[in-house]
Chain A
Amino acid sequence: MKVRVIGIPVQNQDKALKFYTEKLGFIKKFDVPISEGYRWLTVVAREEQDGTEVLLEPSPDNFEPSKTYQKALFDAGIPYTQFSVDDVQQEYDRLLNLGVEFSIKPTEMGTVKLAVFNDTCGNNIQIVQML
């Protein structure tokens, strides 16, 4: 058993692809039509293109508990998932310049530094650096 893909529910796949590639710097790996306008859409880190893929999967619009869960996490500021970076402050400055909104500015917490931003597709995402 291997971990090849992790999923992030996004409210709009086109918008998500634009945000994750143009702002975050990921690279599109697979974009396969599935049905009714939905796609199997994955991106990978530029530095690890053979690494774990991030699946930008459509939020299940027709399943109310899932929508409630995603919204509750977002409203509470809780990250859906997190990505590792070498320098949180540098990445924060870069993304801020690109208009990305942060709910938590770079903050040290013991032996890590973290920050949290809005992915514009219904999720908070945390970036983390080990100090």
Chain B
Amino acid sequence: MTFYQREINRIRSICYSNEGQIETVIGIKNFIDNNFEKELNLDLLSHIRYTSKFHLLRLFKKYYGLTPYQYLTCRRIEESKNNLKKGMSVSETCFMVGYGSPCSFSTLFKSKIGVTPIEFQKRAIFAK
């Protein structure tokens, strides 16, 4: 067994021994992945796994390093990048990934990706 394998086993036994908690957060993450375009909130997510909102928030952040809302935003932005690359319009992309205002979506997109959706799309098409 290599040093790295031993370290993985050691860290897993220290940090990831609570299988119930891990199963809960993975279940929530999968739910977000499959429903990112819908209106999701902490009440709904906590109800799915029969846990309190604050406990869920703490657990998700502990294991993924992000709050469920931050993860949802990342997921939606990733999906919107795929849609823009395929040539979908900004408005259509915005509604497709679950946002209601193209203007707010563009601002959010720029804050996360560094360029506006239009600019991102231009670069993606140019790169082809």
Residues of A at under 8 Å CB distance from B? 49-50, 75-79, 103-104, 107, 109-111, 114, 116, 124, 130-131
Interface contact B5-A50, CB-CB below 8 Å: no
Interface contact A111-B29, CB-CB below 8 Å: yes
Residues of B within 8 A of A131 (CB): 26, 29
Interface contact B16-A109, CB-CB below 8 Å: yes
Interface contact B124-A103, CB-CB below 8 Å: no
Number of A-B residue pairs with CB-CB distance less than 8 Å in the complex they form: 45
A114 vs B16: C-alpha distance in the bound complex, in angstroms?
Answer: 14
Residues of B within 8 A of A103 (CB): 2, 4-5
Residues of B within 8 A of A130 (CB): 29
Q: Which of B2, B3, B29, B64 has the most chain A CB within a 10 Å cutoff? A: B2
Q: B12: CB under 8 A from chain A?
A: yes
Q: B11: CB under 8 A from chain A?
A: yes
3-22 of chain B: CB within 8 A of chain A: 3-5, 8, 11-12, 15-16, 22
Interface contact B127-A50, CB-CB below 8 Å: yes
A76 interface neighbour in B4, B8, B26, B124, Cβ under 8 Å: B4
Interface contact A116-B127, CB-CB below 8 Å: no
Q: How far is the CB of A106 from chain B (nearest CB, A)?
A: 12
Interface contact A104-B5, CB-CB below 8 Å: yes
A110 vs B23: C-alpha distance in the bound complex, in angstroms?
Answer: 9
The contact size tier of chain B is 10 to 19
Interface contact A104-B11, CB-CB below 8 Å: no
Interface contacts beyond A50-B128, A75-B2, A109-B11: sample of 9 additional A-B pairs, CB < 8 Å, sorted by A: A76-B3, A78-B2, A78-B4, A104-B2, A110-B16, A111-B26, A111-B64, A114-B8, A116-B4
Interface contact B4-A79, CB-CB below 8 Å: yes
Q: B63: CB under 8 A from chain A?
A: yes
Q: List 14 A-B contacts (CB under 8 A).
A: A50-B128, A75-B2, A77-B2, A77-B3, A77-B5, A104-B4, A104-B8, A109-B8, A110-B12, A110-B16, A111-B22, A111-B26, A111-B64, A114-B8
98-128 of chain B: CB within 8 A of chain A: 124, 127-128
Residues of B within 8 A of A75 (CB): 2
Q: How far is the CB of B45 from chain A (nearest CB, A)?
A: 16
A114 vs B4: C-alpha distance in the bound complex, in angstroms?
Answer: 12
Q: How far is the CB of A14 from chain B (nearest CB, A)?
A: 28
Q: How far is the CB of B125 from chain A (nearest CB, A)?
A: 10
User: Who on chain A is nearest to B60 by CB?
Assistant: A111
